[in-house]
Structure 1
Amino acid sequence: MRRADRLFDIIQTLRGRAKPITAAALAERLEVTARTIYRDIATLQARRVPIEGAPGLGYVLRKGFDLPPLMFTMEEVEAISIGAHLVHRIRDPKLQDAAESVLSKLQHAIPAELCAQLQAPRFLVSEGDTVRPEGIALLDVRNAIRACRKIRITYRDEQDRRTQRTIWPIATVYYVDVTLIAAWCELRGDFRHFRAERIVRSTLLEATFAADSRQIMAEWMAKRAMPS
């Protein structure tokens, strides 16, 4: 989590509480150390956020403090809201949680008249038909892409044939009703697209591929752009 996001989350947590909350409790909630929370609290206080309290006693946010409203248009709020609801179609639990968090933060940061549009939107987003992957966690895939780590998978094709692959994941491709993992396949010696729901099992390996994956990404993009 970026520090700016963490500072925002600390303020949001304090705003929602009438009683003091300890640094230890904040640290557990935000998955950091208590020492980090102490530093963040000091930073917020230096920026004139009216946080009161002390180590061991807990912290509270003085009543009356509010963040300045973000300047969004109605269309921008609707775009964010629709996008967050569309995330539910891809069956990625962590991204779904993140989308809900975005909407929650937005409700606390925009003017009341725009907030009403978030709470009672005048649109519907269908659930979609994407199958939830059982053999691989999409969070692991995203982490592997960031860290350039290889993944070993057992893959089942459309004829139900199974193969063992070691892949270098470079991108997650979300379509309306299917999620693909774009990767370099060591078995085939070429780029391949793997349907997430056809991965029977997977293991995130310690082994890494190119330290800078941008070149691999560029080669994959170039190959996608080539006429068939």
Structure 2
Amino acid sequence: MPRSDRLFRLLHALRSLPAPVTAARLAEATEVSVRSIYRDIAALRAAGARIDGEAGYGYALEEDPALPPQSFTRMEIEALLLGLGEVRQSGDAELAQAAESVAAKVIARLPERQAREAAHAVLRVYRHSPRAVPQAALSLLRESAWEERAVDLAYRDEAGQVTRRRVWPLAVAYLDEVLLMVAWCCLRQGFRRFRLDRIESAEPTEESFRPRRVSLLRDYVVSLR
């Protein structure tokens, strides 16, 4: 198989398979050896693709320069704008501003006909009672998860008792009424979910847990099954 075709198939697998995806799963999907996957991941990174993870933990495609916006269908445009509308309604101020920026960039790069379709999208989002979003805590936790740095929390439980603990933030889940942080709790030595509206204070630390975020998230998803 020509190398260009192999890299294209790998990009497609990274886009379509649930992340993080192991090298063995990528090798199965693209019908090459695991050793070839490692080499091709390195080649894609060198070409500008942002691929998170490493051998033994799995991979996730963060940024793909080979996927141009003009490849969107009408339904994909509707889905994209609907999702961005939900972010504007339910995200914190920083995330809502990012959603506005994404929409503007996508529409600006669409062909004229598709740009008109985007400007007159059929699907809309309106929320009369937007979800309460703790602005400062969410911003800090998001940055700490990106950088894989531990955070010290003062957390109030359902009974009102406040405990202090160090956590490794892994992800933030948007539920119907509240936001939950999925984290590894260093105090309890296990996965825990924390409601953001019960976080009394959050302080960044210099402790790094890189590169364990991808593998921990995978283990957490497996535990839910």
Band of TM-score, shorter chain? 0.5 to 0.7
Quote the residue 2:142 is aligned against. Answer: 142
The amino acid across from 2:215 in the alignment is Q
Runs of 4+ in 1 over 4 A off after TM superposition: none
Is contact 1:150–1:207 with CA below 8 Å preserved after alignment? Answer: yes
Quote the residue 2:189 is aligned against. Answer: 189
- Hey, what's the Cα distance between the residues in 1 that align with 2:181 and 2:135? 14
The more displaced of 187-196 and 78-87 is 187-196
Shift of 1:135: 5.4
Where does structure 2 lack aligned partners over 5 or more consecutive residues?
Answer: 1-67
Shift of the 69–222 alpha-carbon distance from structure 1 to 2, 3 Å rule, reads closer
- Hey, what's the Cα distance between the residues in 2 that align with 1:73 and 1:180? 33
Task: State whether structure 2 residue 132 is matched by structure 1 residue 131.
Answer: yes
Is contact 1:89–1:176 with CA below 8 Å preserved after alignment? Answer: no
The amino acid across from 1:76 in the alignment is E
Taking structure 1 as the reference length, what is the TM-score of the superposition?
A: 0.62
- Helix, strand or coil for the counterpart of 2:192? strand
Is contact 1:134–1:197 with CA below 8 Å preserved after alignment? Answer: no
Shift of 1:81: 0.4
Query: What is the RMSD computed on CA atoms of the aligned residues?
Result: 2.2
Q: Percent identity?
A: 31
The amino acid across from 2:97 in the alignment is D
Quote the residue 2:52 is aligned against. Answer: none
Shift of 1:205: 0.8
- Helix, strand or coil for the counterpart of 2:122? coil
- Hey, what's the Cα distance between the residues in 1 that align with 2:81 and 2:94? 17
The amino acid across from 1:173 in the alignment is A
Shift of 1:152: 0.7
Where does structure 1 lack aligned partners over 5 or more consecutive residues?
Answer: 1-67
* Superposed CA offset, 1:103-146 (max 9, x none): 1012211123322233233232132542111551x232222112
- Hey, what's the Cα distance between the residues in 2 that align with 1:71 and 1:189? 45
Taking structure 2 as the reference length, what is the TM-score of the superposition?
A: 0.62
Question: Highest Rg: 1 or 2?
Answer: 1
Quote the residue 1:22 is aligned against. Answer: none
- Hey, what's the Cα distance between the residues in 2 that align with 1:162 and 1:69? 47
- Hey, what's the Cα distance between the residues in 1 that align with 2:135 and 2:87? 18
- Hey, what's the Cα distance between the residues in 1 that align with 2:70 and 2:215? 37
Shift of the 108–212 alpha-carbon distance from structure 1 to 2, 3 Å rule, reads same
